[in-house]
Structure 1
Amino acid sequence: MDYETSDGSQVSLREIFEDRNGRPVFKAASISAFVDGKAFAGKAEHRIKELDDVSIVDYLKPVPTENIHPLFPPNFTLAPSFDLAEHYLKAPAFTYEDCKPGRTFVADCLLNEATALEKLSQHPHPNIVEYFGCIVKDGRITQLCLKRYFCSLADYAEHRVPDSQREKIFHDVSSAAKHLHSLGLAHNDISPENVCIDSQGNAAIIDFDSCLPVGQRLMKGTAVDGLPLLSDPNNDIERLGKLRDFLADLKYDEDDVTSGPVDGASEDSLLQHNISQTY
């Protein structure tokens, strides 16, 4: 469960389970938060539904800076003044376990995302999240300043989506993936949660902490048959196929007479046509 307060503070709650005789048993709730730009984490032996904003504060302790905030490279972009109505300040996602002494996985992921966005800012694309630079404190990256979008595709899908809009979303995401691949990069984590929709209905890929040059070992993911997972355009192509199926299964607006398939083609075949045309 993730949410943002009116003052820009970000809170993340995750329930941790352990296996007992083949069945999951609740162990604790991991709590992480950014308040006034400072990171806190804690662990509660209560279910999330039993916690409120007041009780959450009692469990929080400051997080060591080096665990989640990487050093700011001097050649990276420093974010200008921002407006929370137009800009989203992405803070690193972490759990209580990530904050133990010596662990820098979260900081490494944030630096990797900033590195990818720096490169993409030199080769912009309308369907890739707009990046304005890094928020820096005491020489370390605390947040990434990004364009604020209307909602994620996962949330957007809760409403009726016309055929024409589903087709446009798929085209937008496919175009962005093709652009990444032309730069020698792969996103490696395309999903409805990592696609956002703006107020004009345009789609954009977000969340670039798994984006790496093709062939590099992924920082996230589980090895298969003992072999590490690698950054690969095929990861994106596979995810695009799943996204196509996700869009095809969405509810549609029966009153949208202008949004039907083109030239009598079925919706599924139209989506399939686009992915084959892109690759």
Structure 2
Amino acid sequence: MLLNPSSSSVARLALAVVTEPERATPAPVGAREEAMRLLLSTGADAGVGIVATRPEADTERLLGQAWPFPSPFRVTVRTVPLSEGIDRVEARARRSLERLGLPRGDAVLVSSAHDLAGADGRALWDRLRALKDRGLFKRIGFCATMEDGPTLLARRFQPDIVQMPCNLLDQRPVSEGVISDLAGMGVDVHISSIFARGLLFAAREHLPDHLAEHGAALSRTRRRLAEARVDPMQAALAFALGLPPVSAAIASVASAAELRAILAAAHAPRPDLDWEALALTEPAACSLSRSVRVPASRAA
């Protein structure tokens, strides 16, 4: 697997700000807003260009009150589930821009490929394309997993962006040529779950039951990294930022301190590793996993 040795900078690093209680330290409202401003200014100073958001919790409002001025960020928003109705999907996308304090966004992404695969998929896509035509979003796209068949969906809908999980443990989007195929269609590929939902950092005893059988394989991967004297975060970022077809690698962050740790790892010398040997033999387990509870500084 060829990695681009010139892409170790943060130019393609994107941020997904996390405010869940298990990641973010509880604080009064004013302190939360100040913490958000510090996080965003840290990212802006480092050259991070993309912030990826979701329509949940209070994150959009906090971001809207904390942007540096002028803001250097391109912002992507995600839709609510189609089960809430097409009108609700459109209204909530507009509401996301209002909460973010933005006249327009860089992209709106269908949050689940299942919504496009259903009977109302084309109608949903037409609604989002209308938002693009009105200038509210520059681009439209969707989020998918390998199991969703993102290449076929891209051929059908011709999105500007496809976001999908890809990481050191689950390299299928690379090894099966999906990322290259999408890039060949002119699609910008954003990869998420670059830290494998915390699996890279989780102790074996903290794995959920359905992943217990993969504990030995995870231990082998961490042992290989330890023998090479490479920190798991450094390896994960080197892998994600070193994939030439990928235009953005999304890291979830809960604080400026977490972001500084990620930035330091991203700027570390690129390790010389056998990347394919680090993947799980059954990588689909990663995509089925919910985030594993690990120390906050390691959960990004």
The TM-score, its normalising length taken from structure 1, stands at: 0.28
Higher strand share: 1
More helix by share: 2
Greater RCO structure (CA 8 Å; 6+ sep): 2
- The two structures have a TM-score, normalised by structure 2, of 0.26
Structure with larger Rg = 1
